[in-house]
Structure formats: structure tokens, C-alpha cells
Structure 1
Amino acid sequence: MISEKLIQQIAFIKEIDKLKYIQRKTKLFYSDRNENDAEHSWHLAMMAIVLAEHSNKSIDILKVVKMVLIHDIVEIDAGDTFIYDTTKNHTNTDEELLAAKRIFGLLPAEQSNELIEIWEEFEAGETNEAKFARAMDRLEPLLQNASNNGGTWAEFNVPYQKVYDKKKVIKEGSDTIWDFAEKLIDESVEKGILKK
């Protein structure tokens, strides 16, 4: 007999397939194609594994990987908010919390509670793991935009200071990666792909 637990887990697995349809503003490296949320989450997980040694503090890498894999699942219901959006704030909203409860709520209670807690920890950005996960989340689009001649910076006329202010959260997770990111931002200004 098939257990209710397995049925719930399969329902969740089917539901999160929708993440593949959530288009982000950023484009793949050296490409005209927009990235989707599933690709973004996978890339962050790989980045976290590869770059973990550069974390400012000791981290539980499995928890970081869980964070980056689930952090955007709420966008299935809430949609993707562009980080440089001028009309909608890119912060945790009631809408996202409702989405987290609905989507993770498809799972058996123990798993549901764990993933909601991890999602909330990422959103709060206070633990070592959350700080490093958020650093990865801010680094990836920076790398993409630099590889695409300004990408969304050019497309949406995003100025240097706004980019700098949004990206400086990287420093909370990794001074080393922030040094690299800050240099990349400055080089982007020098190349004329980011306006100061």
C-alpha cells in the first residue's frame, strides 16, 4: 500500500516543477535567454558548494544548499520581483509567507515545518548560513550582468549606486567574494556597462 506521506511528497515534487516556468529578468551567461528560477536555484547550490571555503564564518553547507534551493519556491505563487524594481519592494512579504505555507504545506508536517523554518531563516538573513546563501543570491546576477554587457543594468537603466547598495550584502557572507564583486562592479563602470 502507498503511504499518505509518499503521496504528499510526490504532490510537492509535482508542484515545484512550476519553478521552471518562473522567468527572471537576468539572462544566462553570454546569452539572450532569460534564466528561470529553477536554473537560478541550481546554480546557487553549485556556487555555494564550490565557494563555501570563502565564507566569513563556519557554515553548515547542507543547510546553505537547502536555503538556495528553496528560497525562490514562493515565487510559484508570489511571482518574481526584480531586485531593482522601483514600484515593488524586494523584501519578504505577507504574500510570500502565504505562498511558503501553501507550497511547503503540501509536504508531511515535519518536512513542511523544516522547509518553512529554513526559508524564514534565509529571508531574515541573520545566521551565518543565511548570510552566505544571500551572498550567493546576489553574486550570480552580478556575474551574469557583467558577462552580458550590463544585462539588466543597461536594459532597465540601473545606476551604479543602486547596484552597489544591493550587492554589498555579499560582504556579510564573504569578505573575499565581496572584494571580487566590488572590483567587478568597478570594472563594469570602467567598461561603460554600468553608469555611475
Structure 2
Amino acid sequence: MISENLVKQITFIKEIDKIKYIQRRTKLFNSDRRENDAEHSWHLAMIAIVLSEHSNDDIDLLKVIKMVLIHDIVEIDAGDTFIYDQTKNHENTTEEKKCAERIFGMLPEKQAEEYLQIWMEFEDGISNEAKFAKSMDRLEPLLQNASNNGGTWKEFGVKYETVYGKQKTIKKGSTTLWGYAKDLIEDSVDKGILEK
């Protein structure tokens, strides 16, 4: 006999397949194809594993991986908000929390509570794990835009000050990676792919 928990877990697994259809504005490295949320989340998990030694603080890497894998699941309902959107707040957690409660609520109660808590911890950005996870979330599109000769910076007229302001979150999770990011931003200005 199939347990109720397994039925709920399979239902959730089917539901989150929808994340593959959520298109982001950023494009794959050296490509004209937009990345989807599933690709983004997978890439962040790999980046976190590879770069974990550069965290400012000791971290629970498994927790970071969970954070980056589930942080955008809410976009199944809420849609993707472009990090440089000037009309919609990227930190719209009230709307997104309702989405998180619906989607994670499909799981058995204990798992639902764990995933919602991890999602909220990421959004709050206070714990060592959340700071590092958010650093990964900001680093990836920076690397993508630099690889695409300005990518969405050029496409949407995003200027240096905005990029710098959004990217400085990296420093909270890793001063080493922030140093790299700052150099990349300045190099992008020098190359003319980011307007000052």
C-alpha cells in the first residue's frame, strides 16, 4: 500500500517540474538563450559546492545547497522578478510567501515546515548559510552578463551604479568573491559592456 506521505511527495515533485518553464532574463554563458529557473538553481548548487571554501564564515553546505535549490520554487506562482527591475521590488516576500506556503504545503507536514523555514531563512539573509547562498545568487548572473558582452545590462539599460549596488550583497557571504566581483564590474566598465 502506498503511503499518504509518498503520494504528497510525488505530487510536489510533479508540481516543481514547472520551474523548468520559468524563464529568467539572464542568458547562459556565451549564449543568446535565456536561462530557466531550474538551470539557475542547479548552477547555484554547483557554484556553492565549488566555492564554499571562500565563505566568510563556517557554513552547513547541505543547508546552502537546499537554499539555492528551493529559493526560486515560488516563482512557479509568482514568476521571475528581474534583479534590475525598476518597477517591482525584488524582495517581495509577502506575495512570494503565499506561493511558498501553497507549493511547500503539498509536502508532508514535517517536510513542508522544513522547506518553508529554509526558504524564509534564505529570504531573511541573516544566517551564515543565507548570506553565502545569496552571494551565489548574485555572482552567477554577474558572470553571465560579463560573458555575454553586457547581456541584460545592455539589453535593459542597466548602469554601473545599479549593478554595483545589487552585487555588493556578495560581500556579506564572501569578501574574497566580492573582491573578484568588484574587479569584474570595473573590467566590464573598461571594456565598454557596462555603462558608468
Q: State TM-score, norm by structure 2.
A: 0.99
Could you tell me which residue of structure 1 aligns to residue 52 of structure 2?
A: 52
The sequence identity of aligned pairs, in percent, is 72
Could you tell me which residue of structure 2 aligns to residue 119 of structure 1?
A: 119
SS in structure 1 of the partner of residue 25 of structure 2? strand
Distance 1:105 1:185 in 2: 40
SS in structure 2 of the partner of residue 134 of structure 1? helix
Could you tell me which residue of structure 1 aligns to residue 37 of structure 2?
A: 37
1:92 to partner: Cα distance: 3.2
Distance 2:57 2:167 in 1: 19
Contact 1:92 1:123 in 2 (8 A): no
Distance 1:89 1:176 in 2: 28
1:93 to partner: Cα distance: 2.7
Any residues of structure 2 matched to 1:1-196 within 5 Å, and which? Answer: 1-196=1-196
Structure 1 unaligned residues grouped into runs of 5+: none
Contact 2:93 2:123 in 1 (8 A): no
Deviations 1:137-166 (A, max 9, x none): 000000000000000000000000000000
2:52 alignment partner AA: A
1:54 alignment partner AA: H
SS in structure 2 of the partner of residue 158 of structure 1? coil
Distance 1:10 1:93 in 2: 26
Distance 2:107 2:93 in 1: 22
Distance 1:131 1:94 in 2: 20
2:172 alignment partner AA: E
1:12 to partner: Cα distance: 0.3
SS in structure 1 of the partner of residue 163 of structure 2? helix
1:94 to partner: Cα distance: 1.7
Distance 2:112 2:48 in 1: 23
Distance 2:140 2:84 in 1: 15
- Between the two proteins, the alignment pairs up a number of residues equal to 196
Deviations 1:71-98 (A, max 9, x none): 0000000000001111101003321000
Distance 1:101 1:53 in 2: 33
Cα RMSD, aligned residues only: 0.4
Contact 2:20 2:38 in 1 (8 A): yes
Return 118-127 or 85-94, whichever deviates more: 85-94
Structure 2 unaligned residues grouped into runs of 5+: none
Moved over 4 A (4+): none
Contact 2:27 2:34 in 1 (8 A): yes
SS in structure 2 of the partner of residue 35 of structure 1? strand
1:25 to partner: Cα distance: 0.1
